Structure 1
């Protein structure tokens, strides 16, 4: 009997474990995750803004793990690739015959001075809750401080997470103003971005609509403005300073630090994988999700790391392990996006849907599409009845 170890209980890891189990290869399957729960990473911005609670986007991993999958709750320290062992923080090393590495992402500071110390990232449940608590405490403080910097929020980066967070923030701000008794008209929200535009993954008309929507809600965009340092309460771009007592860091992510600790050849802790998602020289290792870098055969550029592509990678890796066990050749990973949806609060957004041609949506209809997308992702990962019972 072979041992198949899956690292990480995120979109990629949980889906891979489920698919390997469903193939009924009758091997030992172990899923290792540092938390007892899976969280919907695409909804962290809602927890950070306070429109959802952590319990709304989490479910217990053990309760939804497929029959026959052992679950170990521990933190991976590194992988001994020569000895085929996963070294853990609290328990004895776990040996494997096949490894599916889906350890996910961490915040990327790009070496910018003060970014780690003086800003709030959104990369997991704990950081999202910390950002929400800081925001609400700072806004509430204005009633006694009368310091307008308490009402000033600076969001670093204008990527997907940034824009969705801004959408939730402007939606909730009137309720926060009423709750904490601060003047809504004095709130200042700034978004600082090094690129010359936002949401490049959308066609220009939709990206402009999203920008204008947020501008009308009070967001000030500063594009072509690279961040050079962050001081306490200040975001610096060369000779420009943007002040605010809440600084949110959403400029980008990198793969898990376990990648560098384990000696993988990588850039930003993402490893370029082969066509079947294995690592060169290690056919027993599959890297999927945020720790992998997969070139698009048509453009040559790397695919973006999204839940959609992570689930597709998990399906491919699971199928290839089953093929190997059966003495059959593995298949190449292929991917066709079904579209992109960006929410701007619970009841608005923009979307490009790639089904039977391209549909372009904006406004209220996107809220419904986004909810359907989130629900569909959950169905891809776990048994719905078990998931609901775990909440």
Structure 2
């Protein structure tokens, strides 16, 4: 009797969890031994993290227990941290053990890309996990409390967000909504609070429709945000940020959302990568490794226009579906499916009741775009957890 093939999935982000759930659905019992490895025992919804980071929602609403999503008769879950990937031995080294595999799925997510800007790694915070957003929320509240003890320190009330992409824009929308309540709670004059959004590119939300970008910036400006567009951060210190135009913004709160790179373990494993991202083949496999699939932030997929797709939740979800199909095809020795990304639309929230989006060739903004954003989030809850998860979490989205 031939041995049952072993599939190891590293990471329970969008790509990893969708791959696992699809394998759970498509594989027969005892057709493969599937193991899902994740640092935490929960899957967190990255596209919702900007809300608990600003304090407009509880962080619990952004996470879901992995054991409540998977069928433990089909998927083994291992809570551990990956230390090393050894492709030559077909082994994954964990902090507390070793796993052997026949097929490997790498979905380890991304890390902040600092582009070599001095001090960013040491002095800026990042919206990248449940723990980091909890820290950001508590830090912001602490700044208001500290200001009450040292009323001359207006740098406590100055907040700098580096990067005007999706994460940066969505976060400052929520932060701008939260500030009036914080001012009320701590008896602080709202006029003293400053929120800066700094972006090196010539526009906010690069690649978005210019009309919608203008609308977004207008909404956020009216909420009190000051934009510094086409202005790079030259250095981040313990006292604030030095801008390329010579201005220094004094601040005790710098939040960096300006870039993502793939997990460093990918490069350390010997894969040819660009900023930690591997240019996968049409079946999502790493070049030269027919048994290794890469999804999410660690993968690089080129569009028909010969440009890399940005690493979004939407593309990772679609990769998870195709990755699972190709794992099944590999095991059953049937044909594999080529990955073709199909955009279902893009929506960016701007705080409560406000958003912008593009669906097909239609542009939406304001209230209806905000409702569309909620529908997208609820649809994802349904995909991973069905109606029970929608009923439990949907009201918070």
Structures share fold, TM-score greater than 0.5: yes
What TM-score results when the alignment is normalised by the length of structure 1? 0.96
Q: Is the 8 A contact 2:382 2:389 kept in 1?
A: no
Q: Gaps spanning 5+ residues in structure 2: where?
A: none
Equivalence for 1:377:
380
Equivalence for 1:70:
76
Equivalence for 2:268:
261
Deviations 1:217-264 (A, max 9, x none): 111111111111111121112322111121111111111121122121
Q: Gaps spanning 5+ residues in structure 1: where?
A: none
Equivalence for 1:292:
299
Note the C-alpha offset of 1:388. 6.6
Note the C-alpha offset of 1:87. 0.6
2: distance between equivalents of 1:384 and 1:115? 42
Note the C-alpha offset of 1:203. 0.9
Matches within 5 A, 1:1-391: 1-25=4-28, 26-66=31-71, 67-90=73-96, 92-146=97-151, 147-238=153-244, 239-296=246-303, 298-354=304-360, 358-385=361-388
Note the C-alpha offset of 1:382. 2.9
2: distance between equivalents of 1:384 and 1:10? 20
Instruction: Tell me how many residue pairs correspond in the alignment.
Output: 386
Range 306-315 or range 380-389, more displaced: 380-389
1: distance between equivalents of 2:115 and 2:250? 21
1: distance between equivalents of 2:329 and 2:52? 40
Q: Is the 8 A contact 1:60 1:390 kept in 2?
A: no
Q: Is the 8 A contact 1:233 1:247 kept in 2?
A: no
Deviations 1:129-185 (A, max 9, x none): 111111110022222211211111111111110000010011111111111111011
Note the C-alpha offset of 1:346. 2.5
Range 307-316 or range 139-148, more displaced: 139-148
Range 242-251 or range 80-89, more displaced: 242-251
1: distance between equivalents of 2:366 and 2:185? 27
What TM-score results when the alignment is normalised by the length of structure 2? 0.94
1: distance between equivalents of 2:384 and 2:294? 18
1: distance between equivalents of 2:232 and 2:268? 30
2: distance between equivalents of 1:117 and 1:100? 31
Range 197-206 or range 336-345, more displaced: 197-206
Q: Is the 8 A contact 1:154 1:243 kept in 2?
A: no
- The CA RMSD over aligned residues, in Å, is 1.5
1: distance between equivalents of 2:212 and 2:392? 39
* Aligned structure 1 segments of 4 or more residues deviating by more than 4 angstroms: 386-391
1: distance between equivalents of 2:211 and 2:249? 28
Note the C-alpha offset of 1:277. 0.5
Deviations 1:198-227 (A, max 9, x none): 112321100110011111111111111111
2: distance between equivalents of 1:181 and 1:264? 54
